[in-house]
Structure 1
C-alpha cells in the first residue's frame, strides 16, 4: 500500500504524487469506471503488442476518459481552491514536510 497524503488527495510512489480517485463517487459509478479503466489498459497492452497505432490511440483515449471520470485526471474533485500537484515530485510541493515525517520505510 502506498502512503496517502493526510487530506486524501494523493498517494505517493517513488517520490511522486498521484491524484486519488474522488472519494465522493457512488460505489456503483466508481466500480463502473474502474472496470472501464482495467479493460482499456488491457486494450493498450494488446494494441502495443499488435503494433496497431489506431487501436492504441483509441485505447489510450478510453484510459484517459476513465481516469477523468474517477477524478484522477482532469478537473480536481475538491472545492477549496487548492492547486493540483498530480504527478509532481513531492519535494516540490507543500507535502514535503508530510513526506519527511513518514520515515524511510514508508516514504516510497
Structure 2
C-alpha cells in the first residue's frame, strides 16, 4: 500500500518530490472518485499509446478538471458547482461514455 502524499496545512495541495500540486476535491464521493481515477488512468495510457494525441491529452485534462485538480479551484466553487463538476459525464478512450 502506498503512503498518502504530504499535503499543505489547508489541504488544498499535495507535495510530491518537493513540488506542490492541487489536491483532488475532498468532497467527491468515494465511488465517483474511484470512477474518475479509472477514467484518468485510461486516458493516461491512451496518451502513452498514441504519443500524446490531442484527443488523449484533452481526455486527461477533462478528467483532471472533474477531479478538481485543474480549472477553477474547488475551494472557490459552491457545493452545487463542485457537484456538477464531478458528475459531468466523461468519455473513455474509444468513445465509451461513463457518467
With normalisation by structure 2, the TM-score equals: 0.68
Highest CA radius of gyration, 1 or 2? 1
Shift of residue 79, structure 1, vs aligned partner: 3.4
1:18-68 superposed Cα distances (whole Å, 9 cap, x missing partner): 0010000111221111111000000001001xxxx6xx1100000000000
More strand by share: 2
- Tell me the C-alpha RMSD between the 2 structures: 1.7
Partner secondary structure for residue 78 of structure 1: helix
- Paired residues in the alignment total 74
Aligned to 1:90: none
| Gap runs ≥5 in structure 1 | 81-108
1:74 maps to 2:75: no
- Specify which structure has the bigger relative contact order, considering alpha-carbon pairs within 8 angstroms and separated by 6 or more residues: 1
Kindly indicate whether residue 9 of structure 2 is the aligned counterpart of residue 6 of structure 1.
yes
Q: TM-score, normalised by structure 1?
A: 0.63
SS of structure 1 residue aligned to 2:8? coil
Which of 27, 35, 40 is matched with 2:38 structurally?
A: 35
Range 3-12 or range 62-71, more displaced: 3-12
